[in-house]
Structure 1
Amino acid sequence: MSSVREKYKSLVDQFTSQVETSTLRQDSNEFQELLTTVIEGFLQLKTTVYSSLALFSKNESLEDLTTSSMDLLGIDYYLGLLVARKQAIQVKSPRDRSVLRLKFLQKSVQLLVQFLVSLQDYEILDTFLSKKLDGFESTYSPRLDDLYSQPNSSKDLSGAQLKRQQKIELYQLSKKVDEALDRLEKDKDSDDETLRQLKLCKLRQLSYKAFGEIEQILYEIELLTNFTSSPPPEHDENPSVSPEKSSSTDFTDKLETLNKPLLSKNGKILRNFTLTDSKSQLQKKVFGYGQYGPTMTVEEFLEKEFESGRVLQGGEEPEEDQDEDKEEWQDRETYKAREWDEFKEANPKGQGNTINRG
């Protein structure tokens, strides 16, 4: 029996010194391996206490419970705290990780409620928490609404005030137990009755902490339930193709697009390109080909492209194919030639600007 109590004390000390106050990230391999080791230790101890030694029975009352074995009722409390910290870090999918995390949290709540039920069976649990426990719609799967009494009518707006009053009452009861525990620990009389009261106060203190832990875990369960119940995001069947590069009119790095001249000889834009002010798109393209800032004008963009030598110039404006056999085309060309001859005859060389000449 003494070895069982020593094992329990050793595991509690390990939880307090290595787990509860650990500076490790909870999603690190080292921390999760530590959790697994401590959980296995508590599970082995629980098997010994409840199965091998059968120290506790529902048919017993508080008077039947020995003082030396009272501490062991806290096994489920520490198991609940440990399981609440477990994470499936080996799973890569965030959604699958959340599903497993949800199961760990649900198991943690079951263990903490089991701890409260054990105290209630031995009439150690105070009246306030005992009523809360009896009010759970499903004892081992409580909901947030089960923790605090709410008005019967949904139109009643006093629910927040009622919850606040219950929280204040819970805090005051917890504070009284802490004060009683402090007095007993300072009491120099170490008779069996004082030691028994001391252990009862410690169990009641853990009961208030367990109730608070259940509330916090239920909040996280609610969030994870909403996340895991939402439909998974749809994935593109061809993820290798970027939507930014799907159109030939966009400014892309496709060879067939880049080989087209950007400007004609006269400065006319021959190839469509898009300037975007999307911050996220610009960040993805930093220092890549054809970059431009969110406030850059078309002129500024072209100037930078000219400086870096990345603008393809010299492209001729597209001309319609001419059929030299058509009379209409031949007549037009003849008239153009005659007009040019007449212009040269009327304006011989050297007959331009003669201002300031003698």
Structure 2
Amino acid sequence: MSLSQEYDSILEIYLGKVEHTSLRQDSSEYQALLASLIERLLRLKTTIHTTLALFSANESIEDIPTSSIKFLGIDYYLAQMCSRKQTTSAQISDPLQRNKMKLKFLDKSVQLFMQFIHSLQDVEILDQFLVKKIESFENSYRPTLQEFSAQPAHKDDLSGAQLKRQQKIESYRQAKQTAELLDSLEDKYKQKDETQDDDKDELLRELSLQRLKHLSYSAINAVEQILYEIELLTNFTKISPPPAEPSQQKGQKQEQNGFTDKLETLNRPLLSKEGKVLRNFTLVDKRTELQSKVRGYGQYGPTMSVEEFLAKEWEEGRVLQGGEPEPKDDGNEDSEKWQDEQTYKARYWDEFKEANPKGSGNTINRG
């Protein structure tokens, strides 16, 4: 397999199975694949830079053949892989030690990203916007997070946020222009006729250079994000858990044997002589606690009366209202009272019909 084929194979696996994957980054399978790709890419880098010496310090971009230009991106992909590298729980069980190892991988990733950017600057293909940015760093291989943001001239100046926003906008604009030009060149290269070999080779060279410029903006953005992660992990590792006291270790062994020390350790002091917390405690108002014990029920009592509870339920609409209509009472035929009521109703109706015969109401406008 040629160097170009090996490089393309590594990138294909990285883009397909590492950068876009359904695996967890802390899984053993993911980290094993990542480690194998890093090893292959390091061997390829050694062959290109040491064994074959394809690049030298005094060369310009015109001296580099088109087929070798893409190898300038090796450090970029090494940096991307190192930023994803970490130890698994099967390798190191202590989370604090795993975070410390992660910091080492992130620090190496920053160095590789900056090394990639400097290699583009050496062959004079790095945009001036990025050249000015890295020249403003005190140590261009180890920039700090503060150096990525424009700092005001005076500490009382509140324009720092505005300057940072302007830098972000300018960086985004430059990166967008580079990406648009790259897309245009890729479309043009795909449409190029294969018979025009000279023009196609020139277009391929321009396309390779534009890809490196696009990677340079991705690299500088990745460095800033990694520096944020380094700052977060550094602060996290400083908050290390206190070493276990001998009494705590003894209690843990007893708990493993099925023994509980909840009653036996009630009188244990809260703090040791060195000021370390020995047992869990809760800050409470002592006066309120004692008062609740004296005037309390000796158990948990209700928090509201029945009337208050019903009123609350009524306000929140949880009380059922309405329902089916009440059934009609047909009475009892055996009841004398009911029979009398029915007799009176029948008599009243007969008297009404006798007093008001049919048609007696229409005495004026008869047909």
**TM-score (normalizing by structure 2):** 0.66
Give yes or no for contact 1:77–1:206 (8 Å, CA) kept in 2: yes
Q: Give 1:234's aligned residue.
A: 243
Give yes or no for contact 2:82–2:106 (8 Å, CA) kept in 1: yes
Give yes or no for contact 1:116–1:125 (8 Å, CA) kept in 2: yes
**Secondary structure, counterpart of 1:83 in structure 2:** helix
CA distance in 2, matches of 1:203, 1:297: 77
CA distance in 2, matches of 1:247, 1:227: 32
How far did residue 174 of structure 1 move?
Answer: 0.9
How far did residue 248 of structure 1 move?
Answer: 6.0
- Structure 2 portions without partners, runs of 5+: 193-198, 252-259, 269-280, 284-295, 302-367
Letter in 1 for 2:298: V
Give yes or no for contact 1:150–1:159 (8 Å, CA) kept in 2: yes
Q: Give 1:11's aligned residue.
A: 10
Q: Give 1:149's aligned residue.
A: 150
Matches within 5 A, 1:217-296: 217-239=226-248, 240-241=250-251, 244-247=262-265
Letter in 1 for 2:10: L
Q: Give 1:109's aligned residue.
A: 110
- Structure 1 portions without partners, runs of 5+: 251-275, 279-295, 302-358
Q: Give 1:208's aligned residue.
A: 217
* C-alpha spacing 1:180/1:297, structure 2 compared with 1 (3 Å): farther
CA distance in 1, matches of 2:132, 2:23: 38
Q: Give 1:80's aligned residue.
A: 79
How far did residue 225 of structure 1 move?
Answer: 1.4
Give yes or no for contact 1:35–1:86 (8 Å, CA) kept in 2: yes
Q: Give 2:292's aligned residue.
A: none
CA distance in 2, matches of 1:135, 1:29: 40
Give yes or no for contact 1:80–1:107 (8 Å, CA) kept in 2: yes
**Secondary structure, counterpart of 2:57 in structure 1:** coil
Matches within 5 A, 1:1-358: 3-89=2-88, 90-187=91-188, 188-189=191-192, 190-239=199-248, 240-241=250-251, 244-247=262-265, 298-299=298-299
Letter in 2 for 1:24: L
Letter in 1 for 2:104: K
Letter in 1 for 2:174: L
CA distance in 2, matches of 1:172, 1:299: 68
CA distance in 2, matches of 1:249, 1:136: 58
* C-alpha spacing 1:13/1:245, structure 2 compared with 1 (3 Å): same
1:243-285 CA-partner distances (Å, limit 9, x unpaired): 74344679xxxxxxxxxxxxxxxxxxxxxxxxx999xxxxxxx
CA distance in 1, matches of 2:299, 2:144: 63
CA distance in 2, matches of 1:183, 1:88: 41
Letter in 2 for 1:104: F
1:57-95 CA-partner distances (Å, limit 9, x unpaired): 111011111111010001000000101111111111111
Give yes or no for contact 1:132–1:148 (8 Å, CA) kept in 2: no
How far did residue 96 of structure 1 move?
Answer: 0.9
Letter in 1 for 2:100: V
**Secondary structure, counterpart of 2:169 in structure 1:** helix
Letter in 2 for 1:69: S
CA distance in 1, matches of 2:221, 2:139: 18
Give yes or no for contact 1:133–1:139 (8 Å, CA) kept in 2: yes
How far did residue 112 of structure 1 move?
Answer: 0.6
CA distance in 2, matches of 1:235, 1:277: 21
CA distance in 1, matches of 2:99, 2:213: 33
CA distance in 1, matches of 2:47, 2:157: 51
Letter in 2 for 1:298: G
Q: Give 1:340's aligned residue.
A: none
Give yes or no for contact 1:112–1:214 (8 Å, CA) kept in 2: yes
Aligned-CA RMSD value: 2.3
How far did residue 151 of structure 1 move?
Answer: 1.6
* C-alpha spacing 1:248/1:175, structure 2 compared with 1 (3 Å): closer
Identity %: 48
CA distance in 1, matches of 2:101, 2:244: 23
**Secondary structure, counterpart of 1:233 in structure 2:** coil
Q: Give 2:257's aligned residue.
A: none
How far did residue 298 of structure 1 move?
Answer: 3.0
CA distance in 2, matches of 1:39, 1:216: 21
Give yes or no for contact 2:86–2:98 (8 Å, CA) kept in 1: yes
